[in-house]
Amino acid sequence: MEDKKIIRSSQHGFTKGKSCLTNLINFCDEMTGLVEEGRAVDIDYVDFSRSFDTISYKIIIGKMLKYGLDEQTVRWNENWLKGQAQRVVISGTKTNWRPVTSSVPQGSILSLILFSIFINDLDDWAMCNLRKFADDPKVGGVADTLSCCHLEGPGQAGETG
């Protein structure tokens, strides 16, 4: 994936040579430059609620194909994701196993990569500076008018198909 440059440069989380610190320094430098020019700046911090739980398998598989991952890798990931099941156990009483149709297992390195692919196209909708650290993006830009800095597009990253 590194060779194909699939993950955009705006993502600093779990990316070789980048960190939370590079994310902050990079973003602060951009915003400070605007302030030094005498511009008003708007910064919005976004929090994806239950981010890893909301990833649609259909959408993530489509995005992997869109970004040019080879068919074998995509199918392996699809089998890994679709092979998940869950049940509830309360005081020894167990429900039936149910297939999991969305989400990626938390704590897995692969899940971090899949989530990065899932939100990768936020850059396509940002009309200003966008920086991401894993599932915590922030946008900032000149606030000369009410509509200067906004995301324009689908309601969630996964809707871009």
Domain assignment present for residue 132? The answer is yes
Total domains, the chain: 1
The whole-angstrom separation of Cα 42 and Cα 45 is 10
Query: What pLDDT, on the 0 to 100 scale, is given for residue 158?
Result: 43
Query: What pLDDT, on the 0 to 100 scale, is given for residue 55?
Result: 85
Domain assignment present for residue 4? The answer is no
Across the range 85-89, mean pLDDT stands at 91
Across the range 53-76, mean pLDDT stands at 92
- 143 burial (CB, 10 Å; 0-12 / 13-18 / 19+) is middle
Domain assignment present for residue 74? The answer is yes
pLDDT for 113 beyond 60: yes
pLDDT for 69 beyond 90: yes
Domain assignment present for residue 24? The answer is yes
Domain assignment present for residue 9? The answer is no
pLDDT for 102 beyond 80: yes
- Domain range spanning residue 141? 20-149
Domain assignment present for residue 1? The answer is no
Tell me the pLDDT band of 94, cut-offs 50, 70 and 90. very high
pLDDT for 160 beyond 50: no
Across the range 42-58, mean pLDDT stands at 84
